[in-house]
Chain A
């Protein structure tokens, strides 16, 4: 898998990225690149800037310095470019953020109809296909609040697939879920990863990271502290901070 990816071009390039919230320096000189089809897991303690980082990639957060190039388009505060990037980069949120006033299927067809000018018929057909893929087709006419957390998150994944994105961003997709629902969401994510889509996941699910990630990135205090392939990441953590983090997170896991 590794060698396969090495030949592919970079789909995301981030260089010298700096972001402040007021006086707070949230991201410090971030440099990273992601190749097409790569699965990246970003982890780190809370407040380390990992969510902020991936939210910069689809411009949910503005940044002050540095640049991000997503599939050849440089991110600037330009309405057309943002629209283009957002149609290629999909995002799955911690709290699902489904639209509670729309049915499941309407949640899925919204962006295809209004952003990508698809007809209602096509959009619906495609939506049902994706719902089937996340194994939730029979709930299509229900409203989000009638579903369990795990089901809602699977719908959210299906929603982000509907715009046929090249890249998917996951912002702690399992941390708002009850324990028994985590695996159903992870299963869907594993299926997606096998399908060859580029993914950046902010998550604490180390099992998923170990099994699926090409690279794991550890962030702390707004910086990338360490970056490695899964085997070495867990076996030979170099920095003290990563060792501490792993010891805290893994004691409960194993």
Chain B
């Protein structure tokens, strides 16, 4: 048998590459596909241009003269009002005039540096969490921040302790309130959730029963019923005469609600830990608490992180519900500011604005969660 000579690689036939091929395989592989492509194009055509027109091209940007970082930027002679805006396109001067309320609520203007520092701290926290990813003591860094962040933020926003003038909670509002409810809700509910998850996995029947009942009950009812409970019934549960804050009541409701969801997420992580880990921890003589604190939870929490972020996203979305019990979050601010008799009928602009804010925050969170998931999946395959 003859031995074939080694052949050098050839290029594929030229008809098979390039843009035409891409179009053909991705958009026009069959007549049905072609039809779908045209239908999609039509859908984009009827939705995108009018939207762009409403938001930008025909929209009113007459903010008057604005001072940005010390530079006077002149958008127009005078700021537009509701009438001069017209109804056909967005009237952004409305947002411009109300933006303080969207972002700070009724927070006193002379104290505005405090929420600003809070926003800065929050951004810094996120930045540090992402930067220390590969740092040896990252757990310690993150843990200490999780402990200090709420304390510092509380002193900053609420004041008191003889350090800063007190700002009552009913003055908190807008994005500030949304962020506070979300972050406090997450930080308080998380440890409760971990305890509930351990309780539900426990061998002790009474504890397992109570944890399971709590988790399943909370997960079965809508958040609104719990917020109503916290708002109307919780005060009745306490010694008569105890009067406490509306925001605090809402936070208790949200924290209990979220704890049940975190518990299920953490339980998923606990169930993924092989039995051998429990046995090895027992065999070297660790106690129940040492076993969970040193061996089981660190692993279980790590694999649950993507789901923890996912559950936090849900909580962030759910913060909007507090407006139903009368707290003034960002969404409530839209409903309120659009009742301003000088700006009647500008709800759409308000909703679009808060939609953008929410969407940017939630989309980045979900991207982050997905990135973590992919990273963990590849790590586990090693």
Residues of A at the B interface (CB closer than 8 Å) are 58, 60, 79, 83, 86-87, 90-91, 93, 95-101, 110-111, 114-115, 145-146, 159-160, 163
Contacts and interface: CB of A to CB of B under 8 A. Distances in A.
Contact of B285 (A93, A96, A98, A111): A111
A60 B277 CA distance: 12
A101 B299 contact: yes
Given A110-B294, A114-B294, A99 B277 contact: yes
A45 to B, nearest CB: 22
A111 B286 contact: yes
Contacts of A111: 284-286
Contacts of A99: 277, 280-281, 295, 299
B-side interface mostly: helix
B12 interface: no
B282 A60 contact: yes
Given A86-B282, A115-B284, 19 more contacts: A58-B283, A60-B279, A60-B282, A60-B283, A79-B287, A90-B283, A91-B283, A93-B279, A96-B276, A97-B277, A97-B279, A99-B277, A99-B280, A101-B299, A110-B284, A111-B286, A114-B290, A145-B382, A160-B283
B280 A93 contact: yes
Nearest to B288: A79
Interface residues of B, number: 19
Interface string B11-31: 000000000000000000000
B87 interface: no
Contacts of A146: 382
Interface in B304-318: none
Given A97-B277, A101-B299, A163 B284 contact: yes
B299 to A, nearest CB: 5
A58 B281 CA distance: 12
A101 B305 CA distance: 15
B284 A95 contact: no
9 cross-chain pairs, A with B, having the tightest CB-CB distances, nearest first: A97-B280, A111-B284, A86-B285, A97-B276, A91-B283, A115-B285, A101-B298, A87-B285, A101-B299
Nearest to B380: A145
Interface of B: 274, 276-277, 279-287, 290, 294-295, 298-299, 302, 382
Nearest to A116: B285
Contacts of B290: 114-115
Contacts of B285: 83, 86-87, 111, 115, 163
B274 to A, nearest CB: 8
Nearest to A143: B382
Contacts of A114: 286, 290, 294
A100 B298 CA distance: 10
A167 B299 CA distance: 29
B276 A93 contact: yes
Nearest to B298: A101
Nearest to B379: A145
B36 to A, nearest CB: 46
Nearest to A91: B283
A90 B279 CA distance: 12
A100 B282 CA distance: 16
A169 to B, nearest CB: 8
B93 to A, nearest CB: 55
Contacts of B382: 145-146
14 contacts: A60-B279, A87-B285, A93-B276, A97-B279, A99-B277, A101-B302, A110-B284, A111-B284, A111-B286, A114-B286, A114-B290, A115-B284, A159-B284, A160-B284
A91 B277 CA distance: 13
A86 B302 contact: no
A184 B298 CA distance: 31
A100 B299 contact: yes
Most buried by A among B277, B285, B295, B299: B285
